[in-house]
Amino acid sequence: MRRLAVLFLVLASLIRAEPAVERWGIFEAALAGPADGNPFTEVTLTATFTQGDTVHDVTGFYDGDGTYRVRFMPETTGEWRYTTHSNRPALDGRTGAFTAAPPSANNHGPVRVAHTFHFAYADGAPYRELGTTSYKWTHRPAAQEEQTLRTLATAPFNKIRMCVLPIDRPDAQRFLPFAGKMSAWDTTHPRPDFFRHLEERVGQLRDLEIEADLILFQPYSPEWGWASLPPASEERYLHYLLARLAAYRNVWWSLSNEWDFNPNKTEADWDRLFQLVQAADPYAHLRSIHNGLKLYNATLPWATHASIQNGAAVLDPERAVLYRDVYRKPIVFDEVKYEGNIAARWGQLSGEELVLRFWNGLVAGTYVGHGESFLGPPDAWLGSGGVLRGQSIARLAFLKTIMATLPPEGVDPIDKWQERRTAGKAGEFYLTYFGTDAPAAWPFVIYRDGPNDTTRDGLSFQVEIIDTWNMTVTPVPGTFTTKKLDAHTFEDVDKKSIALPGRPYLALRIRRVANSHAP
Amino acid sequence: MRRLAVLFLVLASLIRAEPAVERWGIFEAALAGPADGNPFTEVTLTATFTQGDTVHDVTGFYDGDGTYRVRFMPETTGEWRYTTHSNRPALDGRTGAFTAAPPSANNHGPVRVAHTFHFAYADGAPYRELGTTSYKWTHRPAAQEEQTLRTLATAPFNKIRMCVLPIDRPDAQRFLPFAGKMSAWDTTHPRPDFFRHLEERVGQLRDLEIEADLILFQPYSPEWGWASLPPASEERYLHYLLARLAAYRNVWWSLSNEWDFNPNKTEADWDRLFQLVQAADPYAHLRSIHNGLKLYNATLPWATHASIQNGAAVLDPERAVLYRDVYRKPIVFDEVKYEGNIAARWGQLSGEELVLRFWNGLVAGTYVGHGESFLGPPDAWLGSGGVLRGQSIARLAFLKTIMATLPPEGVDPIDKWQERRTAGKAGEFYLTYFGTDAPAAWPFVIYRDGPNDTTRDGLSFQVEIIDTWNMTVTPVPGTFTTKKLDAHTFEDVDKKSIALPGRPYLALRIRRVANSHAP
């Protein structure tokens, strides 16, 4: 009894010490409990968080050394109350409360699907996806990981794809996710230090405003056994990971990299794991799966968007756009080959070729991902993070400045099947990309986007010439005023044409002049 | 009682008179029954056909004038027995038998999906889809319909898309499908003469070895009311149509043309009607739905293949192939714009542009459909049938001769994401299409199709140059022998190159010499 009383005091002090939590931040309750037996499997712990009629059931986890934690991401401000439930008296019926403060300046909440094909933060701010990949960056020496964070701090990316589970030799790992040994991992004994390290890195990404697209499984390095875990082990791993990480607002779940290269799983297995993740995540973070040669059926309801590897689709905006029609969800070309100089065909794009793919993807109303695969040393970014060496990175930073000027809801193809180079918002904003063409002139033209487009005569537009490679924006003097040319297009009332520099990789940004009226 | 006895005699004589039926032909039992009340809705009639352990339940229909019919397509040879079931004594418990003979020479059975992306007849013969569209050809004056059949008899097409329900003015119709009037059709009283006429035409198509892709609904001419029938009326119509026509081996079901242009139906409605057709068809004929601007989700199990309208996808084989990856079913581009000279953008392709689309579709491992929209007179084929006037038709007949030489299982893209111009069967057969490029030479090269491709050094190939527009096939003298060039390609051991005529629309047919061995 004396022991229990002490525990109570400890608990009470913990609850009193709860720090201020902001909306979409992390509230964490730490609870002392039994350390005997196997706390990971024998002790259950959940908590019910309530605010008025809103109820969230959240799963806790054992963090070692007799400490249990429950994490919660409040999605609304104001007071939240909670009660714990456990099969151990020390952890059962604990109650507490905290007040969620308004979010700080750079906290816009988790990213959601918006306007069918695009993304937005939970507070409504546009999220214009510009991702990169570094599969093993959290499984590297500390100095290299810190270097990766410094690189990311100045890079344009707002998402990084990264594997949760290690790939390289086990003796090169500072942290291992489970007790046991290669191909015989004991998933009933996760190692908290591994997950704490991962959480630290995910938190650092969050503070850099970078989404962590966590790849939950990968088919590589089969000697680890990740591709052939028994279902019960997979499920234990996922439940533990989600209990720890779902409260981070910047996590996305990618079920697998190159799922079809895993010979041990059927598509039904991935369906099952998708649904497990969906059910275990109280916050409905984004969920996808990345393919090798065979696409997963992203029309299934548990896939929030399509994460596509395709080496050729974004060579042409008219190709890229086709996936929108079939999936009716955001299309993220997470792998389109990489900038680099390795022998494999997937890793020898020039900077120009990679940047071309980003712009094609943009005017197709889709999103494209970056990666670098240069021969080392230093290590290639794609695998190990560290430093970026490519020619594309500066152009992607420039692209990001252009993306920031798009309409908040994103751009969609205008007049699909006919005008392959232009995306925008009908009557308001157009982005035309010429790719490898090198036009010397462009007669002003606005395409109608189908019968619902209300573009009419007498609207005025300003045009800027964008050199996507040399990173310049050149305003064209004067304005252009629409006059119907035929059923599908408007020309300038004075038939004006714009001189272009006759180089590849040019684009046009065409914006309607505010309050332009029919003359 | 006396009346019943007479009826029995009539029935017995009918059963005795049953004609010879071949496998995949139509067995028909005609039964005399009540003509009072509404026989269409008040009388039920089904028949159970059995052969050993095989059982098929088939729905009969009322054909007017006191005559009921049950039609059955035997899918195996040998004796079949049947028993009828009805809520009317005159039609209940009738039994009979017939022997299905082997099929005649041009009867290969219904078309099925084969090898994931292709089609084959039920007897295993390849069905290499080459379709056309004439929406209203069975709703025209008799002379024009007969002209259409004469045209089809010499045209290369093995499928025609056609609307079951009329579109043009009702006073221009020889047959109307139901009693009642415009927008107030009485689907409880189908008009047998309408359906008999349709059956005659479908049978004539069958005899020409042409599949009838029956479009069950269309959103056009809303004054008819087809796009806004109450669900019960839709279902009565479909049940009656299928009871009459499912036994024709050459029918396909297309739920709708441009389904998304029908403002009165949700996608769930189409799902429901798809499933009704699936359940009511004892023979599992092919099922699809054709889109306007919004694709139906052809991953759903009741769609056997994707029937796609897209004006741009087959401008590039690399675009067309993308749909294969997402649907994993045969891709039929049933509408890719039409050859013609009308004002609308969808009907003004040149012959070259339409033929280009067919060849791009072919090397993408997909199928393309034809249509003509020339200003009349005469009427345009697309709507009314009659005569063909385009430049494409001769080239499609030529294409058909090339398709006949493809491997029986069809051709699939070779080395997708890299070599966009080539489809084939790895190590055996390749078809390379240069589209609008006009090469003057082609260094012999064979692409490997991924890690499972067993192509090796020392295989010998013959090459032919195909001019797809001028319709010539020119064998290249000598043979070419593979020698590995890099991880992905083989060149000729003597680095031979082939001179090409430097014109657009060229293709190469590359076939392995039988029994070629390593030297």
Query: Per CATH, the architecture of A2-101 is what?
Result: Sandwich (2.60)
Give the three-state DSSP class for B112: strand
In order of A416, B318, B321, B469, the CA distances from B357 in angstroms are: 17, 12, 13, 12
Tokens of A488: 């599908």
- The burial of B26, by beta-carbon neighbours within 10 Å (0-12 exposed, 13-18 middle, 19 or more buried), is given as middle
Instruction: Closest CB to A318: pick one of B298, B312, B488.
Output: B312
Check CB contact under 8 Å for A311 and B418. Answer: yes
Q: Residue A322 is nearest to which of B311, B313, B416, comparing CB atoms? A: B313
Q: Is the pLDDT of residue A519 over 70?
A: no
Question: In Å, what is the CA distance from A451 to each residue of A414, A454, B264, B293?
Answer: 12, 8, 18, 12
* Residues in chain B within 8 Å Cβ distance of A294: 325
Tell me what pLDDT residue A19 has: 59
| Rounded distance between C-alpha atoms, residue B214 and residue B27, angstroms | 21
Decide if B318 and A318 are in contact by the 8 Å CB cutoff.
Answer: no
**Closest residue on chain A to B420 (Cα):** A312
pLDDT band at A416 (very low <50, low <70, confident <90, very high): confident
Determine the residue of chain B that is closest to A297 in CA distance: B326
pLDDT tens-place string over residues B31-48: 999 999 999 999 999 999
Q: Provide DSSP, A354-373.
A: HHHHHHHHHHTT-EEEE-EE
Task: Enumerate the residues of chain A whose CB falls inside 8 A of the CB of residue B420.
Answer: 312
Q: Which helix (H) or strand (E) holds B359?
A: helix B351-363
A312–chain B Cβ distance below 8 A for any pair:
yes
Instruction: Return the pLDDT at B420.
Output: 86
- The SS3 of residue B369 is strand
- Partner residue opposite A316 with nearest CB, options B311, B319, B345: B319
**Interface contact A327, partner B, CB < 8 A:** yes
For residue A517, what pLDDT band results from cuts at 50, 70 and 90?
A: low
Q: Do domains B2-101 and B414-512 have the same CATH topology?
A: yes
**pLDDT number for residue B450:** 84
Residue A261 parent element (H or E): none
CB atoms within 10 A of CB A154: 10
Given CB atoms, is B322 within the 8 Å cutoff of chain A?
yes
Cβ under 8 Å to A: B residues 389-428? 416-418, 420
Distance between CA atoms of B275 and B330, rounded to whole angstroms? 19
Contacts of A298 in chain B (CB under 8 A): 326
Higher-confidence position of A404 and B516: A404
Which residues of chain B are within 8 Å of residue A420 when distances are taken between CB atoms? 312
User: What is the pLDDT at residue B516?
Assistant: 61
Look-up of token digits 């359940």: B279
CA A346, A348, A352, A354 torsion-angle sign: positive
Residue A417: list chain B partners with CB under 8 A: 310-312
Report how far residue A419's alpha carbon sits from residue A413's, in angstroms, rounded to the nearest whole number. 8
Query: Counting beta carbons within 10 angstroms of the beta carbon of residue B483, is it exposed (0 to 12), middle (13 to 18) or buried (19 or more)?
Result: middle
B316 touches chain A (CB under 8 A): yes
> Is B318 at the interface with chain A, CB within 8 A?
yes
**Per-residue pLDDT at B18 exceeds 70:** no
* pLDDT of residue A227 exceeding 60: yes
Interatomic CA distance for residues B51 and A12, integer angstroms: 79
Task: Quickly state the pLDDT bin for A1 (edges 50, 70, 90).
Answer: very low
Chain B: nearest CA to A490, how far in angstroms?
Answer: 16
Q: Are B68 and B31 in contact (CB under 8 A)?
A: yes
What is the nearest CA distance from A429 to chain B, expressed in angstroms? 22
Average model confidence (pLDDT) across chain B? 95
Q: What angle do CA B236, B242, B247 make, to 5 degrees?
A: 160
**Residue B416's pLDDT is what?**
86
At B3 the pLDDT is 53
**Residues A384, A340 contacting (CB under 8 angstroms):** no
DSSP H helices in B155-248: 192-207, 231-245
Q: What are phi and psi for residue B486, nearest 5 degrees?
A: -155, -165
Q: Which amino acid is at A21?
A: V
CB contact at 8 A, B447 and B488: yes
Residue B57, classified by CB atoms within 10 Å of its CB into exposed (0-12), middle (13-18) or buried (19+), is: exposed
C-alpha to C-alpha distance for A498 and A480, rounded to whole angstroms: 10
pLDDT at residue B482, as a whole number: 97
Q: pLDDT of B237-270, one tens digit each?
A: 999 999 999 999 999 999 999 999 999 999 999 9
Q: Is A474 on the interface with B (CB under 8 A)?
A: no
pLDDT of residue B9: 46
Cβ within 8 Å, pair B417-A294: no
Burial of B442 (0-12, 13-18, 19+ CB in 10 A): middle
Average pLDDT over residues A228-246: 97
Per-chain mean pLDDT for chain A: 95
- Nearest CA of chain A to the CA of B221: how many Å? 18
Type of residue found at A440: A
Residue found by looking up tokens 């035929």 in the block: A486
Nearest C-alpha in A relative to B419: A312
Determine the Cα angle at A44 with ends A38 and A45, to 5°. Answer: 125
- pLDDT tens per residue across span B295-340: 999 999 999 999 999 989 999 999 999 999 999 999 999 999 999 9
- pLDDT reported for residue A364: 97
Whole-angstrom distance, CA of residue B295 vs CA of residue B37: 44
Please check the confidence at residue B11 and state whether its pLDDT lies above 80.
no
CB-closest option in B315, B326, B420 to A326:
B326
> Helix A351-363 crosses helix A392-403 at what angle (to 10 degrees)?
20
A315 touches chain B (CB under 8 A): yes
> Would an 8 Å CB–CB cutoff place B295 in contact with chain A?
yes
B157's torsion region: left (phi>0), alpha (psi -120 to 50) or beta? beta
In this prediction, residues A368-385 reach a mean pLDDT of 97
Q: Which residues, in sequence order, are bridge partners of residue A133? A: A161
| Contacting residues of A for B348, CB less than 8 Å apart | none
**Is the reported ipTM for this assembly greater than 0.85?**
yes
Contact B319 A322 (CB under 8 A): yes
Band (pLDDT 50/70/90 cuts) for residue A75 is very high
Give domain limits for chain A: 2-101, 111-403, 414-512
**Pairing label, strands A95-101, A21-22:** parallel
Integer Cα distance of B396 and B401 in angstroms: 9
> pLDDT per residue over A304-338, tens digit each?
999 999 989 999 999 999 999 999 999 999 999 99
Token pair listed for A234: 């997979």
Helix (H) or strand (E) holding A447: strand A445-447
The DSSP 8-state label assigned to residue B312 in this structure reads S
B375, HSE (Cβ side, Cα atoms, 13 Å): 5
Count of other CB atoms within 10 angstroms of residue A428: 13
Surface-to-core class of residue A87, CB atoms within 10 Å of its CB (0-12 exposed, 13-18 middle, 19+ buried): exposed
Q: Shortest CB distance from A316 goes to which of B295, B310, B316?
A: B316
Q: What is the CA radius of gyration of chain B?
A: 26
Two tokens, residue B444: 């012999």
pLDDT per residue as tens digits for the range B57-114: 999 999 999 999 999 999 999 999 999 999 999 999 999 999 999 999 999 999 999 9
pLDDT on residue A13: 46
List Cβ neighbours of B206 (8 Å cut-off, separation of 6 or more).
Answer: B212, B248, B249, B250
**Exposure of A170 in the CB half-sphere (CA atoms within 13 A):** 15
User: Collapsing DSSP states into helix, strand and coil, what is residue A18?
Assistant: coil
Q: Which residues does chain A have within 8 Å of residue B318's beta carbon, measured at their own beta carbons?
A: 312-313, 315-316, 319
What confidence tens digit (pLDDT) does each residue in A250-285 have?
A: 999 999 999 999 999 999 999 999 999 999 999 999
- Both tokens assigned to B294: 């919004």
Architecture per CATH, B111-403: Alpha-Beta Barrel (3.20)
B227: amino acid identity, one letter:
A
Q: Do B322 and A319 touch (CB under 8 A)?
A: yes
Mutate to test the interface with A, among B319, B324, B342, B415 (most CBs of A within 10 A): B319
* pLDDT higher than threshold 70 for residue B51: yes
Tell me the pLDDT tens digit for each residue of A198-226: 999 999 999 999 999 999 999 999 999 99
Helix (H) or strand (E) run with residue A161 in it: strand A159-163
Q: How far is B325 from chain A (nearest CA, A)?
A: 6
pLDDT tens profile A476-507? 999 999 999 999 999 999 999 999 999 999 99
Whole-angstrom Cα distance, residue B406 to residue B429?
Answer: 8
- Fold of the domain built from segment(s) B414-512: Immunoglobulin-like (2.60.40)
Distance CA A227, CA A255 (A): 12
B-contacting residues of A 211-250, CB under 8 Å? none
